[in-house]
Structure 1
């Protein structure tokens, strides 16, 4: 099919025949091998879906040797990690909620046309490979990138246009709805952003129609899998130990630790009464989670009552201070409810800017680096620190994206800048608190940013009918876990600088 002025073609059945699904994707001269593979049996002893997404950048794709002594690709780059997350986020909700087989989606970038970004090709390849495979999947989905150059939208812009664009928007959709948004922008208006999202969704539906023809022709029958269901007898016993009206009292508090202690008491009471039932003991954690979720959603949707007692549009109490760290160039702490971030800014000569080796010839260094850390103590847990995970890299990149539009140019401020967001306490929206703290820390360090930037996260709880829904402002952790959407938006008084949205239904 023709897509953004270039030809998208798919080769199936030629390579990778032992994978559950395999697509040899071609977009211009960009070539990506996308595969979907599932284990034969479910993984034992887990209560989540073990999905792994890989985006492998090979330097031969752009005719280069890898750097370093070994001259071989090693640890995934930050760009690879971020691309893997962009593929993971829209696809994960489309797998069955009780599917426990390991699934790996692998995308091998073999050739890169500077006019055709391999990110888009990998996402489309992953969705199609999974859809034609025998892995249970409620797809396909599609993804489109959109730029804004000289006031005009550009579909799937190449590397050169991306660096001239005022908008870097990625939208993933199914046939029915938009399920993921990732955006960075130079203070784009709400109206322009909405127009761009609708345009991406329109293109995505054309891609899905193309995929449907392929699936009808070569798609495999989906395999059966072992379903994990909570027996109704277990739920009835749980309701007997803690009736619904009591469960509302258990979760209704503005203190996270108090709520967790209340839930632990309910579990202890259940285990005391039914501790000899081994089958139930293995399922009580999931049963209690579902009961808590059902209670919170009912409170919000029917009673219009949030778990911490706030109004639907009410923001948690705010606090801010600067210059906490005496020897740092700049520091600030931002607190929103039980979410607390301390951001520390360090300045250095431009020679200290981070060197970047990747597939994009226009990105060779990072003058501004924003890093985010999420230690286990911030949520009252014990776990050794083994360096940043994918979530931490993603949150740091989102905060960086939000602040880049207001930074001074190299000529105006000839310094490299490193901002590190340390999570002191977490109860939802730490990435957006990082943006708020960093905006203040940059000013405290003397960086002449053009405007202050702030960020907030909103949520959604839906009912059975289309007109049954509640949009929540400033969601806490519980509302994120049990809700249907996590919508993060950052910007200045004049426009949007970053968006990240995930739909879970």
Structure 2
């Protein structure tokens, strides 16, 4: 079956149909249905005489009955804008994000640049295309079962096959290029009902739109599911038990590109099905044709315009002759300083223009104003891509100036020796470029009060926060909690998933060796003579059976049922994903698990743990995720803000909302020089600056911070940064409150969690009991607790203080499980009427089980008449067998309970008659 790569439970409640808010006003939305306007219907007039298979008459099958899936929508310009292209596709409540990143191939950078060599490379049949298909666990409201509960694992076989299907569809149509192309398709929402489209088909359609400029022609895909009665379901994600075959079809306007089929269908009917699928892709192709990418094409700005903004001469090879002052130099360091001064004088004010200084006569304010957010009415900020192009132009100009450099006599020999190295000139240009930009950034901030991206004015630029945008929720209701948080060009998609405590990450002892048991499992069921319905087990049993479970459960001698304590498991955890496309780069090697991701994720998690409720108030495992879709500095700080909003959307009762922001430093050359703190730094300000101080907290307290410096700093700088960050957090919390209330329709207001959990989230029911009765719930080898989980599709968690937590997606099953738990921990009361099960027959009476796992004796005198007992000379066992059988259900009344030994005396509720 063509499905996503997750093992998913079918016991979830159907979520309410909601509109995903990941599409915003900047996003162009196109609608389509997979059903053609004028389809070619295939009536049942086939002359085929194939034999019936499984009761299906293929000769009478009619594909004219077609049930369309949800409408498909595409959006662009809203998310992951640092990639070459990004598309969000939605089909009902199924949401897919497709991104494209590219970079020059290694062969292109190393091989000859002659025209003939380029021609040969373009004629190569190999296309450097990589397709990465991932199914996010939060898409189905589940917590991963991997050791660290992370999505960044090795792709499953199903995910690999889905990626291959997409690859095989795209590769024949992709234009030849000297670039490596990385296509990423991630399933962000996938409901477990008929309210969402098929994820693989939607991923391929979204990929076609994302690769629009790189494909020879667009491609579309549909997924068809044929029922026993001939009905065809189009793009329905939920499997149907009546399905007889499935077809995944991809094609262009008039040609087939890829197909995958499974099931059983005669050739004639299969051809009809394929033609039907081809008709279904036509409206999807029309939709792709109408889609317009709304992102700003900043790459179209002419190079001469950018050079003019930097004050550089046109790129015509003209050299500016400036007489150089000779200085005495004595060593390599002084030689470098001589080269640096030479380039600095010839570059002039171009490096300051790069950091937003358009007028050298204007001086910035020395008084730090209160933080404020860069508004929508303010001039737009300079993008990371555009600024990167300017940096590269400045670097190339430096390398050209180095050609005219003549060293002083003292360093002539050293300079000639350095120039003998063929790689000396590019390396020297890089070093001069880096140092020049570092000095220019500090001068632009300290003297002129300007920032690299142009935010604010000369009085408040250093305390201005980049534009903020956020949506709560960002994904459909099948995701327990979600948000999309954007600050400048940094953007994160955050989710929250709730589950039972045992879904937390086990805390492992790093010094304890892992020893796997070599004991083989015996398939034979011992003690077959134990009556069905009894929970009486022998300690030697390997497999345990009762009327509670629907399958055999193997005994686990170490099963305790305890998993709700922080000492055993990490109940709340955050996982941070920083894919390569967030920087506009191509993925190289496996994703996830590098030092940067682990460190930033740990920082964000530490900032959020203090505000989370304890297990007593909120007995859920909380999995928080953050997927960075665009990055230009402080992505970990954006994660903290985004996850806070996702927690509110999930209804988690946090103590107080948390915001986070980073503070940078523009420092002078010496300790006497002034310094300037920079609020909310970008990536280049982190690189060229002297400090990256990441600070997270509420409006009244800091929850976590992390300091990175290029050189030691005085304490007063740290104190100033903490106070500045607090003012910045308060300003951000105010904006978060405003936008979360607006985008959530009032479900999240005043930065308080929504009043109730979403329908897709599991429900919890708590049963308090005497801790001494825990043995009754666990059972020998953990049999009882595991069998109840299997029978009622719930998760049970027992705490040491006497609380049984029941988690389940179905409220009715949770209610039934609660009743069973109460039976196990309740006491039999005198005079109470109970339904019992006969588990053993003896000469003196019957042993009957009541309230599950509690045994009582019904004496023979309560079963048969006394005269019958006296007349029976051969023993009374036959008399007991005449009225009761093992496994028989019988209503009994509790006659007495021994206060010392706890033995129970029972009698029949109604008079018994002899059994046949």
Residue matched to 1:332? 483
User: Is 1:439 aligned to residue 644 of structure 2?
Assistant: yes
**Offset at 1:401?**
0.9
Measured at CA, do residues 394 and 363 of structure 1 come closer, stay the same or move farther in structure 2, by a change above 3 Å?
farther
Residue matched to 2:351? 247
Report if aligned partners of 1:230, 1:283 keep a CA contact under 8 Å in 2: no
**Offset at 1:287?**
1.8
Report if aligned partners of 1:251, 1:259 keep a CA contact under 8 Å in 2: no
**Offset at 1:451?**
1.5
Measured at CA, do residues 397 and 305 of structure 1 come closer, stay the same or move farther in structure 2, by a change above 3 Å?
same
SS, match of residue 382 in structure 1? coil
Residue matched to 1:468? 674
In structure 2, list runs of 5 or more residues that go unmatched.
1-147, 150-330, 357-380, 405-418, 513-565, 712-916
TM-score by length of 2: 0.29
CA distance in 1, matches of 2:647, 2:633: 23
Residue matched to 1:232? 337
CA distance in 2, matches of 1:230, 1:396: 44
Residue matched to 1:491? 697
CA distance in 1, matches of 2:463, 2:400: 40
Instruction: Provide the aligned length of Structure 1 versus Structure 2.
Output: 281
Report if aligned partners of 1:230, 1:287 keep a CA contact under 8 Å in 2: no
User: Is 1:394 aligned to residue 599 of structure 2?
Assistant: yes
Q: Which structure: larger Rg?
A: 2
Residue matched to 1:378? 582
Residue matched to 1:318? 468
CA distances 1:274-296 after superposition (whole Å, capped 9, x unpaired): 57963222222222111111111
CA distances 1:24-46 after superposition (whole Å, capped 9, x unpaired): xxxxxxxxxxxxxxxxxxxxxxx
CA distance in 2, matches of 1:230, 1:473: 36
**Offset at 1:240?**
5.5
- Match for residue 508 of structure 2 among 349, 354, 357: 357
Report if aligned partners of 2:441, 2:666 keep a CA contact under 8 Å in 1: no
CA distance in 2, matches of 1:339, 1:305: 20
Report if aligned partners of 1:251, 1:262 keep a CA contact under 8 Å in 2: no
Measured at CA, do residues 297 and 331 of structure 1 come closer, stay the same or move farther in structure 2, by a change above 3 Å?
same
CA distance in 1, matches of 2:346, 2:587: 32
CA distance in 2, matches of 1:356, 1:228: 52
Report if aligned partners of 1:241, 1:269 keep a CA contact under 8 Å in 2: no
RMSD: 2.8
- Match for residue 439 of structure 2 among 294, 317, 330: 294
Measured at CA, do residues 432 and 348 of structure 1 come closer, stay the same or move farther in structure 2, by a change above 3 Å?
same
CA distance in 2, matches of 1:373, 1:229: 44
Residue matched to 1:284? 429
CA distances 1:62-83 after superposition (whole Å, capped 9, x unpaired): xxxxxxxxxxxxxxx99xxxxx
**Offset at 1:481?**
1.5
CA distance in 2, matches of 1:339, 1:304: 23
Name the one with the larger strand percent: 1
Measured at CA, do residues 275 and 355 of structure 1 come closer, stay the same or move farther in structure 2, by a change above 3 Å?
farther
Residue matched to 1:268? 396
CA distance in 1, matches of 2:681, 2:401: 35
1:208-227 superposed matches below 5 A: none
Measured at CA, do residues 255 and 451 of structure 1 come closer, stay the same or move farther in structure 2, by a change above 3 Å?
same
CA distances 1:349-393 after superposition (whole Å, capped 9, x unpaired): 111111011369984311111011111221222232432211111
SS, match of residue 343 in structure 1? strand
1:78-89 superposed matches below 5 A: none
**Offset at 1:440?**
0.3
1:127-138 superposed matches below 5 A: none
Residue matched to 2:610? 405
Measured at CA, do residues 230 and 329 of structure 1 come closer, stay the same or move farther in structure 2, by a change above 3 Å?
farther
Residue matched to 1:303? 448
Q: Which has the higher contact order (CA 8 A, sep 6+)?
A: 1
CA distance in 2, matches of 1:489, 1:274: 42
